[in-house]
Amino acid sequence: MPRYQTILLFGAPGAGKGTQGKILGQIPGFYHLSCGEVFRTLDMSTKLGKTYMQYSGKGLLVPDDVTIEMWQLNMHARTVLSDYKPNADVLILDGIPRNVKQAKLLEKHINVLQVIHLVCPDKEAMIKRLRRRALKENRIDDAKEEVIRTRWGVYERETFPVLDYYPRSIIKEVDATGSPARVLEHILEEVVPVQEAHFHNPITGEKIKHPAQPNGIHPAIATPKTTRAKAAKKMSRK
């Protein structure tokens, strides 16, 4: 079975993965799925659903192999229903993989084209953001500082090492502390070239064509930094 062409949204709790993923999922050519949605849509009457409840009902972590099986079946259903079209859409994932073992288990299902790392340099500011959001949504338990710091501890111990599993060349860092619109702007600078390099135009159905560049760099795979550097060099000559 062909692997899904995928971009991962990666970052600490409160970095905005879900927010940015939902926005990207509204753009033709991108399909967003969060790990939380996989859990929420699971049929609890099935064998897998009952297995999930055996753990979650006791407040225990669901084993990695069960999590990936749930995800794989969910993706298969979305493909069969043509909700997700592997030949037309880049898959945007957030909340998965949560650790290196999950990353390894996902290898046979996804081809990771890019990892967008939403960087939050100020940990305390992110903790305050999480607390404000939980209070706004009336999630009192999630607003407790000890709960938030526990989530951060799990992220630092288990999830952050996932970055070392993927090649540095496909990891793009984006400052997550700006406004959602500004963060989205920077994410699009990174993901649009990837989408254009691997898929047809989602509106016309035609392969996206670009004029050849003097230095041999195809604009669909050139990074925005390269483009900006070229522009700055051209301006300095005037």
Give the pLDDT confidence of 88-100 residue by residue, as tens digits: 999 999 999 999 9
pLDDT in the model for residue 238: 42
* Residue 54 CB coordination number (10 Å): 12
Residue 223 within any structural domain of the chain: no
From CA 123, how far away is CA 70, in angstroms rounded? 32
Q: Which residues make Cβ contacts (< 8 Å) with residue 11, sequence separation at least 6?
A: 17, 117, 118, 119, 120, 176
Q: Tell me the pLDDT of the chain averaged across its residues.
A: 84
Contact 65, 98 (CB under 8 A): no
Contact 90, 9 (CB under 8 A): no
**Overall residue count recorded for the chain in this entry:** 238
Q: Which amino acid is at 1?
A: M
Tokens of 162: 């996932």
Residue 122, pLDDT > 60, answer yes
Residue 235 within any structural domain of the chain: no
Residue 41, pLDDT > 80, answer yes
Contact 103, 162 (CB under 8 A): yes
From CA 131, how far away is CA 14, in angstroms rounded? 9
CATH code, domain carrying 76: 3.40.50.300
96, with CB counted inside 10 A (0-12, 13-18, 19+), is buried
pLDDT in the model for residue 232: 38
Mean pLDDT value of segment 130-139: 82
From CA 48, how far away is CA 65, in angstroms rounded? 11
In this prediction the pTM is 0.81
More confident residue, 235 or 14: 14
Range of the structural domain that residue 200 is part of: 4-207
Residue identified by tokens 């407040």 is: 59
Residue 47 within any structural domain of the chain: yes
From CA 227, how far away is CA 236, in angstroms rounded? 15
Residue 171, pLDDT > 80, answer yes
Mean pLDDT value of segment 35-44: 90
Domain total of the chain = 1
Residue 237 within any structural domain of the chain: no
Bridge partners for 32 per DSSP: 92
Residue 34 within any structural domain of the chain: yes
pLDDT band at residue 73, thresholds of 50, 70 and 90?
A: very high
Residue 98 within any structural domain of the chain: yes
Residue 110 within any structural domain of the chain: yes
More confident residue, 105 or 142: 105
User: Dihedrals φ, ψ of 225, to 5°?
Assistant: -60, -40
pLDDT band at residue 127, thresholds of 50, 70 and 90?
A: confident
pLDDT in the model for residue 172: 98
Residue 225 within any structural domain of the chain: no
Residue 201, pLDDT > 50, answer yes
Mean pLDDT value of segment 56-64: 82
Closest alpha carbon to 149 in 126, 169, 171, 133: 126
As a whole-number percent, the residues of the chain with pLDDT over 70 amount to 84
